[in-house]
Amino acid sequence: MVSIAAYSAPNTGTPQRVSAFSQDTVPLSVVLLFDLTDSVRPVLKSLGEGALEALQHLKPEDEVTVMVYAASARVVQEATTDRALAVAAIEKASSMESEEAAFFNEGIFKAAEQLTKGKDPSSRRVIIWLTDNVPNIPSEDAIPLRYRKSLNGAMPHTQSEAMRELLRTNTLVCSLVKQSDLSITGESGLRAKPAEWMLHPPGEVYKYAAATGGQVIEFKKKELKEKLALLIDDLRMRYSLGYHPSAQKPKGKYCVIKVKLAPEAKKVAGNVVVEARQGYYR
């Protein structure tokens, strides 16, 4: 038993009546998005080796797209239900390299955009993002051209643009995060420059996951195959809630929502963590 509150402004809102409640049975459309920076690349090998076993946790009708990104994003394999094609693409991605900077926001924007091209428009859209969560500082426009040449002079998408695209396309972001020694060293250097960090805020996996109702899983290198399989199982067990908004809003308006257990359900379930999207665009 649940209750939903929809907020049109901070600290205000009206409880909404739930009109639909079910465990999801619709197919998944998944983008596996791989960060190609030097600090992440060694971890991709273990995913390539265990990809087939992990993908067995998907249903036959679930689609998989494989993408990689550095400065720009590219599709290695279009949406497919053929597991052999998906595994071959993952193995190919796990051996790819890039000398460019990695722009989180660009990768996420393009992955969300790619999900709209899936064969089944009714499927649930999910990005499973493999990264070390260490961004590039200073900002994209200050990084030398040789580290962003694949953008052909264009500016990468911003965090706000990427977030809007995720919410517009109803895309869930989950992330598998692994930091190598190189990642830790790089992050320490960035944290030592708080002024630059605040001036040029990077995309961040926890923000994307929280806004879309996803989760972030940190893992050790040998756990990657297992964690991916567990994440897929969790995605298959999620629930869908539906309601008819009581207040009319103009098209394109962003509406904040909050999902929580009803008091009587809390007495039975105790303290639970509810992972749900924070809002949507009408």
**Which one is predicted more confidently, 20 or 85?**
85
The candidate with the shortest Cα–Cα distance to 244, out of 24, 26, 14, is 14
Checking if the pLDDT of 150 tops 70, the result is yes
Q: Does residue 54 contact residue 232 with C-beta atoms inside 8 Å? A: yes
Q: Which of 78-92, 235-249, 266-280 reaches the highest mean pLDDT?
A: 78-92
In this prediction, what percent of the chain has a pLDDT beyond 70? Answer: 79
Among the ranges given (94-98, 146-150, 155-159, 199-203), the one the predictor scored with the smallest mean pLDDT: 199-203
pLDDT at res. 194: 57
Q: 202, 83, 204, 79: which is closest to 133 by C-alpha?
A: 204
Q: What's the pLDDT score for residue 53? A: 83
Averaged pLDDT, 235-244:
81
% of residues, the chain, pLDDT over 90? 26
pLDDT at 102: 82
Cβ contact 228:54 at 8 Å? yes
Is 50 exceeded by the pLDDT of residue 9? no
- What is the C-alpha R_g of the chain? 19
Question: 56 vs 65, which has greater pLDDT?
Answer: 65
Separation of alpha carbons 265 and 242, rounded Å: 18
Rounded Cα distance between 32 and 66, Å, is: 5
- DSSP labels for 111-148? HHHHHTTSS-TTSEEEEEEEE-----SS-GGGS-GGGS
Question: How does pLDDT run across 175-204, given as a tens digit for each residue?
Answer: 888 755 444 444 455 555 555 545 445 568
At residue 192, the pLDDT reads 53
Cα–Cα distance, 156 to 225 (Å, whole number)? 31
Residue 273 confidence (pLDDT): 75
More confident residue, 3 or 21: 21
Which of the four pLDDT bands, split at 50, 70 and 90, describes residue 238?
Answer: confident
pLDDT at position 153, please? 83
Which stretches does DSSP call E strand in the chain?
A: 2-7, 14-16, 18-23, 28-35, 63-69, 73-80, 124-131, 171-177, 216-218, 239-243, 254-261, 279-281
- In the block, tokens 């105790």 appear at 270
pLDDT tens sequence across 62-105? 999 999 998 899 999 999 999 999 999 998 988 888 888 888 89
pTM for this model (two decimals): 0.83
